[in-house]
Structure 1
C-alpha cells in the first residue's frame, strides 16, 4: 500500500512539474516543452536508477512515479499529430529526429555517466543485484 501511495504522490509531482514547464515554454507552435521534458527524462532516469541501486523502493517511486509522469509518450504523439495536421513537415522532421535520436543519445550519455558496463549480461546484472541484497 505504501508503494502505491508514494507512486501517486511522486506521479503528481512529476505531472505538475511537466505542466509548469509547458506553461513557461512556448515556441510558435513547436512542441518545445514536451521535447525538453522527454529529453531531460531520457538523460536523468538512467542516472537516477544507477544512484538508487541500494534503495529499490526509492528507485521505483521516483523512476516510475515522478519520471513516468514527467515524461510523456502520449504528449509527444499528440504533438507529432498536431504538426502533421498543421502541415508543418519541416518542424515535424526536426521534432521527430530530436525526440528519437536526442532521446537515445541522452539516455546513452546518462547511462555512460553511471559507469554501467554495456557488456554486462543479464545474468551478471542479476548476480550483482543479488549480492547487493545480501
Structure 2
C-alpha cells in the first residue's frame, strides 16, 4: 500500500504540472496525459513487472497520473459552452486513442 501511495504522489504531481503548463480552451492537457498514460500502462503490463513495481508504477503512478474524472468534467464544461463538435471529438478521440495507445504499448512490450 505504501508503494501505491508513493507512486500516486508523484503521478499526481506530474499530472498537475502538465495541466498547468498546457493551457487551452480545448482540454489538450488531459487528452495528452490520458493517452500517454494509457500507452505507459500497456507497455508496463506487457513487460510483466514484478508485483511491487506494478503497485508503484501501474496502480500508483499511472493511476494518479491519468484522470477519468477530469475527462468527464471537461466534457461537461465543453457542453456548457455549447462546443458540440469539440465535445464529440474529445470524447471519441480520447476513448479510441486511449485504447490504441494502450494496445501500442502492449505491442511494443
2:94 to 88, 99, 123: 99
Select the residue among 25, 28, 37 that pairs with 2:22: 25
Task: Please point out which of 54, 62, 67 is paired with 2:62.
Answer: 67
What SS is found at the alignment partner of 2:82? coil
Q: Does 1:42 align with 2:38?
A: yes
Instruction: Decide which of 11, 16, 34 is 1:14's aligned counterpart.
Output: 11
Runs of 4+ in 1 over 3 A off after TM superposition: none
Shift of 1:54: 4.8
CA RMSD of aligned residues (A): 1.1
**Gapped regions of structure 1 (runs ≥ 5):** 115-134
- Determine which structure has more spread, i.e. the larger CA radius of gyration: 1
Greater RCO structure (CA 8 Å; 6+ sep): 2
Normalised TM-score (structure 2): 0.94
More helix by share: 2
The alignment's TM-score, normalised by the length of structure 1, stands at 0.77
Gap runs ≥5 in structure 2: none
